[in-house]
Structure formats: C-alpha cells, structure tokens
Amino acid sequence: GAGVSQSPSNKVTEKGKDVELRCDPISGHTALYWYRQSLGQGLEFLIYFQGNSAPDKSGLPSDRFSAERTGGSVSTLTIQRTQQEDSAVYLCASSSLAGGGTQYFGPGTRLLVL
Amino acid sequence: KNQVEQSPQSLIILEGKNCTLQCNYTVSPFSNLRWYKQDTGRGPVSLTIMTFSENTKSNGRYTATLDADTKQSSLHITASQLSDSASYICVVSERVRFGAGTRLTVKP
C-alpha cells in the first residue's frame, strides 16, 4: 500500500519568508510525528499528534514553528520568518499505535534557507 | 544531555566482516527500543523493535540485543554487504528519544 508522502521534496526559500511543509500519513495511522535532521546530525523530534489529543509540541525549537493536523490525517508544518539555521531535512512519520508502534517515515522535505 | 548515546559515531569495515553497534540509554520509563537504518538522503527504515521483556530480535543479517537492566542495546550485522553502508539510529520510547546515529561504511 501507499507509504507516507511528503511535499515538496525540496524547497529553497529566502530568509524571512514563511514555508509550509506537507505530510500525508499512511491511511488509518492515528499517530503522526515531525522530525528535523540537520546535516550530519541525528534526528530531532519536533511535534507529535495522536488522534484527537492535544499535540505534544515539546520539541518545537521556537514559536516560529507550528503544525496542525486536519481531520486526523494530513499534517502541515509551518515555519514563519525562516532563518538560515532552519535549513534541514524535515521528516514526517506515522504509526498505528500511540507511542509504541513502528514509525514509517516519509522521504522528507529538504529545506534550504538562503 | 542526550538520553540516548550511540557508539561509535562512525565505523569503517571491509565487506564480509561483522560489526556491532552500541546504544546506551537513560530514558525512563521505557516501553520499547527500535533500530532504524537510514540511507543517505532517505527516511529511516525500521530494522527491529523490542519491548523491555525481549532480549534479542533478528531481521536477516541484523540481530539486536537488549539488556533492560543495564539499559544497553546492540545491533550486530553479520557478513556485511556494501548496501549496509548507512546510518543506524537507536530510538527509545516513551516520548521518542533518538540517538545521534552511527555512520557505517562498508568497503569492498
């Protein structure tokens, strides 16, 4: 079946602009995660959605970052007033069990802020 | 301080050789531990998942072990292949704590 998809695959933007990254999880997966991976670094947790519960936003690095998940499916990660240090690969994952299920990752969105 | 520490940071081995990657964690409480393989430019792919009651789990040439008492896990790769060159990431739940990964390079 279809896996997790993300769009765009690549995004180049100017410093100060806003960007929106999209994630389509696997159908039926109730949990959705956003991560960031900077060049040569490990994965950094950003935010976690589980069903209709309030999201766990503890990993968001600043108030310029926000995410929403509409209808319990598609999610959008928004970065406002982008900075050069926001350049990274943004990965989305979904799973079928809260916290414990295997996470299936999308291919990521490579963001470059000039 | 990262609650999941992986070692070594990088490793180079010859094709056909075995290797072992280490993961030490301080995450508590603990529900499961997972190893992922991440090829360059791709998203991570799950290799194994173990609950606290499991000591070992195999997936082909990959064997993961877990000692919940000492909070240590290892990933053993047998008869390495060139395609094993990737980053290997240890993930500990609850609250999804990642290690920084081990970059493995297999040379012919």
β-sheet with A75-79: strand ranges across: A5-7, A19-24, A75-79, A65-69
Smallest CA-to-CA distance from A55 within A43, A78, A72 is with A72
Identify the closest residue of chain A to B47 by CA–CA distance: A102
CA distance B78 to A1: 30
Residue range B56-83: mean pLDDT, rounded? 94
Q: Which two tokens stand for residue B50?
A: 């173990």
Amino acid B83: pLDDT: 95
| Residues of chain B neighbouring A4 (CB-CB closer than 8 A) | 43
Q: Do A45 and B101 touch (CB under 8 A)?
A: no
The stretches of A37-85 forming alpha helices (DSSP H) are: none
Amino acid A99: pLDDT: 46
Q: How many CB pairs under 8 A join A and B?
A: 45
Confidence of residue B2 (pLDDT cuts 50, 70, 90): low
Amino acid A63: pLDDT: 95
Q: What is the mean pLDDT of chain B?
A: 86
Q: Do B100 and A42 touch (CB under 8 A)?
A: yes
CA distance B23 to A95: 23
CA distance B51 to A12: 41
CB B44 within 8 A of CB B101: no
Count CB neighbours of B106 within 10 A.
20
Q: Do A45 and B43 touch (CB under 8 A)?
A: no
